[in-house]
Amino acid sequence: MSLYVDIRYRAGKFRLDAEFEAAPGVMGLLGASGCGKSMTLKCIAGVVRPDEGIISYGGRVFFDSRRKIDLPPQVRGVGLLFQNCALFPNMTLARNITAVLKARKDRDDAPSAASLVKKFHLEGLENHYPENMSGGQRQRAALACIMARGPSVLMLDEPLSALDSYLRWQLEGELSRVASEFGGVTLYVSHNRDEVYRMCSHVCVMNAGRTEPVRSIDDLFESPDTLASCLLSGCKNYSRAGISPRGIRALDWGAELECALRFGPETEYIGVRSHYVRKSDAKTGTNVFACRIERVTRDVFGTIVNVIPLGAPSDGDFSRIRMEMPREEAADLRAGDEIYVRIKPEDVMPLKS
Task: For the chain, state the CA radius of gyration.
Answer: 24
Greater confidence (203 vs 147) lies with: 203
Confidence of residue 159 (pLDDT cuts 50, 70, 90): confident
Helix (H, G, I), strand (E, B) or coil at 271: strand
Question: Could you tell me the pTM of the whole model?
Answer: 0.85
pLDDT the model gives residue 108: 67
Contact 200, 217 (CB under 8 A): yes
Q: If DSSP states are collapsed to H, E and C, what string results for 319-349?
A: CCEEEEECCCCCCCCCCCCEEEEECCHHHCE
Q: How far apart are CA 121 and CA 272, in angstroms?
A: 43
Q: Where do the H-state alpha helices sit in 205-315?
A: 217-222, 227-232
Q: How far apart are CA 190 and CA 233, in angstroms?
A: 12
Helix (H, G, I), strand (E, B) or coil at 43: helix
Contact 196, 30 (CB under 8 A): yes
- Lowest-confidence region among 178-182, 267-271, 339-343: 178-182
Amino acid at 177: R
Contact 209, 14 (CB under 8 A): yes
Convert the pLDDT of each residue in 230-264 to its tens digit: 999 999 999 999 998 879 999 999 999 999 999 99
pLDDT the model gives residue 93: 94
User: CB count, 10 Å around CB of 170?
Assistant: 16
Percent of the chain's residues with pLDDT above 90: 75
Confidence of residue 135 (pLDDT cuts 50, 70, 90): confident
Greater confidence (300 vs 293) lies with: 293
Q: Which long-range contacts (CB under 8 A, 24 or more apart) does 118-122 make?
A: 119/144, 119/147, 120/144, 120/174, 121/174, 122/93
Angle at 197 between CA 179 and CA 81, to 5 degrees: 40
CA dihedral of residues 224, 225, 229, 235 (deg, nearest 10): 60
Query: Is residue 85 scored above 70 in pLDDT?
Result: no
Residue 59 falls in which region: left (phi positive, over 0), alpha (psi -120 to 50) or beta:
left
Convert the pLDDT of each residue in 15-28 to its tens digit: 999 999 999 999 99
- Name the maximum alpha-carbon separation found in the chain: 75
Could you give all domains of the chain from N- to C-terminal order, each with its CATH number?
Answer: 3-227 (3.40.50.300), 235-351 (2.40.50.100)
Query: Is residue 276 scored above 90 in pLDDT?
Result: yes
pLDDT the model gives residue 140: 86
Percent of the chain's residues with pLDDT above 70: 98
Query: Is residue 310 scored above 90 in pLDDT?
Result: yes
Angle at 126 between CA 74 and CA 103, to 5 degrees: 20
Greater confidence (203 vs 174) lies with: 203
Closest CA to 310 of 331, 272, 281, 336: 336
